Structure 1
Amino acid sequence: MHLSFAWRYFKAKKSANAINIIAWVTTAVIAFATCCQVLVLSVFNGFEDLVKSLYSSFYSDLKMVPATGKTFVFSVDQLNKIKQQPYVQAVSMVVQEKALLQNGEHQPVVNLKGVDENYAKVSGLPGKVTTGKFDTGTSDDPHLVIGYGLQNAADITVNDAFAPTQVTLVLPKKNSTSADPTASISEGFAKAVAVFTIQQEFDNNYAITNIDFIKQLAGLAPDEFSAAEIKLKYGEDIDARMADLQKGTGNTVTVQSRYQQNMNLYNTMRMEKWAIYAVLTLILIIAAFTMVSALTILVLEKKKDISILQSMGGTRSFIQKIFLSEGLLLGGIGAFCGITLAIVICLLQIKFKLIKLQGGSFLIDYFPVKLVASDFLLVGGSAAIIALLASLAPAIKASRQAIELK
């Protein structure tokens, strides 16, 4: 019954026009705040999905790295044991090292990644090649697949119409103890045959080549690697399989999921998302102050109604519920309108790409959005809680009012 009283008070024309104005301003501010919250969360969801898809092109489902040091010994038997696991689709062994890439006067430092013939089965990078063909060559004839940014930085030619650029790679030798600095480094030559484009972090820093070529330059043993990258079969539980592999490899190797390989990135994105959400919640809190004003004035206007209810046996709890429900109505209607408007805007953006990104350095030219049901529950719940807290003081004031029937 208290809900019907609250609804009557909400839709009834007030004697003071200011109450109507304050009530509708409160509802509009709540609608605006909830709309902004859903829009911002949806844009962050869209960018998060975009970044994850880009990073999944470079990082494998699981990655085995040494618990200490830069390399670990991995025998053929150990490799075969992992390949035989029913949940493993493919395994690629990797050696990674910092190297100096020399092309004339250009000498950028790169992350040189040596991969085996199975790399295309665990990584989406070969599908991101925009010029040339993904081919790492052999130890005797090594090829280089470089990022687009690195190509520009080192002025490397990768074009069928011209001879591909042959670059010099300089990297440190393992466990070199010579007093001669030149003896602690080694040089090799590789032919740039392809360019990939994923994301600026990778495009500017990474070059892919043959694993045996890097091993020879770095002085690594045949069974010595920097990592083992693993692709799981579709639908496998990554966390469960990561735990299984960790049990089987002991303490010398750490198994990482794709999330753990990029933990700093994902944590930063999550923190930014919730920081913006917290800032927008302040708008709801500001709206709560106008709600307090509207309900307080309403309590003063409905003194006679409250007294009549009290004389008819209405308890304090019943009267409190009326004005708490009134506050929830203001917050609920505002939140519903705001969330509905945000959904409409997001659907229009998804279909028509109305809002564009400024500049031409992005892989897409529009703001990506993704609607997530949990965001609606979070935003709606926040609005309801704030509305309930804001209506608490006026509701208590109404319940404690003395009976006045004059």
Structure 2
Amino acid sequence: MATPAPFSRYEFLIAWRYLRAKRAEGGVSVMTWISLVGITLAVAALIITLAVRAGFRDEFVSTILGANAHVTVYSQARETETGGVTRTIPDYAEWAERLRGVEGVTRVAPLVKGQVMAVHQEQNTGLEVFGIAPEDLARIERIADPETAQGSLEDFPNGIAIGREAARSLGVGVGDVIRVINPNGVRNPFGMSPRINEYFVTYIFNSGRYDIDRTRAYLPFAEAQTYFNREGVADELEVNVTDPEQVDQIAPRLAVAGGEGAYTWTWKDSAGGFLRALEVEDTVMFVLMSVLVLIASMNIISGLVMLVKNKGRDIGILRTMGLTQGAIMRVFFLTGALVGTIGTLFGVIIGCLFAIYFDQILALVNGAAGGGVWEASVRGIYRLPAKLELNDVLSAVSLSLILSWGITLFPARRAARMNPVEALRYE
């Protein structure tokens, strides 16, 4: 007589029968159903956590790359004729032309930078002013987005562009006039006196990052050169590349193209500490959520141990009918594995739905809490998105199935080793 193949149809039928049996019939205990709910919630929590983590990193990096240079090229310090020290670039146009010739470079823009005080009526705030050509400003993705900005970039040459939070702090809108005070503005026989200019606010941008919108402003390049006493020079050149994630490979080539005395500073150099902290946090959160999945999976042991005890008579009968120890083990393994698999499936569905509708759920929670759940001034970005990634979902599913299936082996082996004579002695 041929021996049935492992995991035959009858083994699944018996396991499914035990899983559906009522407790009065010696079926699966309440503890097992609790473990199913636990696995569902743990897997859902793991998927949601991974989706929010991926969304936060994606938004954080996007706001950095969309409003800042991927690589900044600057000059080494040198002594001036008057004995001072400067890092300005007199031949910035030549540098820019050489940098544009590097493969992978998409944009090169000379900049003039300075710190100023902006004043409107009784309000004032500190700003970091970037002097930039209008055509270069129009190519900065997050700054030149017409859907989030106020005003028109066509009017930029006639005034100043400021961030949304800076405009709110000053209480100004497009068309208002602000005074910009440079403490090191005009040289006279008594030293330096502040330079005070008035500019129309022609453009208000929203970069997606609170710190940028709170402190940044843009002036036309020629105007900034005059205002900051940088006639004929630039402070640095900002460079954008096709693949910002591979910026470490292109930065050395940019330094060579810039020529002697050229140095580079990448976006990873400036944000590297925060990105490394995110990676550590990702690892810690994955471990913590994995512990929840493990705890939920371990509840399967309690349920299956009680099931094995209640089904001792059935095990004895099945053994006398010819079922091998392996078949008995597979029956109870399938019973526990079905709990883990069903819980994982429900967890994936709940977790994915939560991540897909995360914005609406967060808005609902924010409304119920009276606002302030996500504070941009603390978090740095205006929104907390969730981004579902296939690898994250597969990681959660794999972890849950491995733990739940692996733990099921212990009570299943106990059932297989049960002596049929002892099981039927008192029947």
TM range (shorter): 0.7 to 0.9
CA apart distance, 1:171: 4.5
Q: With structure 1 as the length reference, what TM-score do the two structures score?
A: 0.76
Change (3 A) 1:324 1:293: same
CA apart distance, 1:383: 0.9
Q: Among 14, 28, 44, which residue is 1:19 paired with?
A: 28
* Aligned-partner residue type, residue 192 of structure 1: F
In 1, the alpha carbon distance for the partners of 2:307 and 2:323 equals: 21
Identify unmatched segments of 5+ residues in structure 1.
none
Report if aligned partners of 1:156, 1:192 keep a CA contact under 8 Å in 2.
no
The percent of aligned pairs where both chains have the same amino acid is 16
Q: Among 179, 189, 214, which residue is 2:197 paired with?
A: 189
Tell me if 1:211 matches 2:221: yes
CA apart distance, 1:84: 3.0
Change (3 A) 1:40 1:229: same
- Deviations 1:318-360 (CA, angstroms, capped at 9, x unpaired): 6655544443322111101221233345556689998464339
Q: Among 134, 152, 175, which residue is 1:133 paired with?
A: 152
* Aligned-partner residue type, residue 169 of structure 1: I
Change (3 A) 1:248 1:208: closer
Change (3 A) 1:125 1:31: same
Query: What SS class does the counterpart of residue 198 from structure 1 fall into?
Result: coil
In 1, the alpha carbon distance for the partners of 2:75 and 2:297 equals: 52
Change (3 A) 1:65 1:216: same
* Aligned-partner residue type, residue 127 of structure 1: D
In 1, the alpha carbon distance for the partners of 2:199 and 2:239 equals: 25
* Aligned-partner residue type, residue 100 of structure 1: M
Q: With structure 2 as the length reference, what TM-score do the two structures score?
A: 0.73
Report if aligned partners of 1:355, 1:367 keep a CA contact under 8 Å in 2.
no
Report if aligned partners of 1:285, 1:386 keep a CA contact under 8 Å in 2.
yes
Tell me if 1:299 matches 2:299: no
Query: What SS class does the counterpart of residue 404 from structure 2 fall into?
Result: helix
Q: Which moved more, 1:267-276 or 1:204-213?
A: 267-276
- Deviations 1:358-379 (CA, angstroms, capped at 9, x unpaired): 3399899997443321222111
Matches within 5 A, 1:221-370: 222-230=232-240, 232=241, 236-240=242-246, 243-250=249-256, 252-257=262-267, 261-267=270-276, 275-303=284-312, 314=324, 322-346=331-355, 355=364, 357-358=366-367, 359=371, 368-370=385-387
* Aligned-partner residue type, residue 23 of structure 1: T
Change (3 A) 1:168 1:76: closer
* Aligned-partner residue type, residue 229 of structure 1: V
| Paired positions, count | 386
* Aligned-partner residue type, residue 92 of structure 1: A
1:84 aligns to what? Answer: 101
CA apart distance, 1:38: 2.5
Tell me if 1:202 matches 2:177: no
In 1, the alpha carbon distance for the partners of 2:365 and 2:384 equals: 6
In 1, the alpha carbon distance for the partners of 2:141 and 2:248 equals: 18
* Aligned-partner residue type, residue 199 of structure 2: K
CA apart distance, 1:91: 1.5
1:120 aligns to what? Answer: 138
* Aligned-partner residue type, residue 130 of structure 1: A
CA apart distance, 1:56: 4.2
Report if aligned partners of 1:101, 1:109 keep a CA contact under 8 Å in 2.
yes
1:394 aligns to what? Answer: 411
CA apart distance, 1:154: 2.6
Identify unmatched segments of 5+ residues in structure 2.
1-5, 78-85
Q: Which moved more, 1:196-205 or 1:263-272?
A: 263-272
In 1, the alpha carbon distance for the partners of 2:383 and 2:171 equals: 30
Report if aligned partners of 1:103, 1:154 keep a CA contact under 8 Å in 2.
yes
Tell me if 1:378 matches 2:398: no
Query: What SS class does the counterpart of residue 398 from structure 2 fall into?
Result: helix
Tell me if 1:165 matches 2:196: no
* Aligned-partner residue type, residue 111 of structure 1: E
CA apart distance, 1:252: 4.0
Q: Which moved more, 1:353-362 or 1:392-401?
A: 353-362
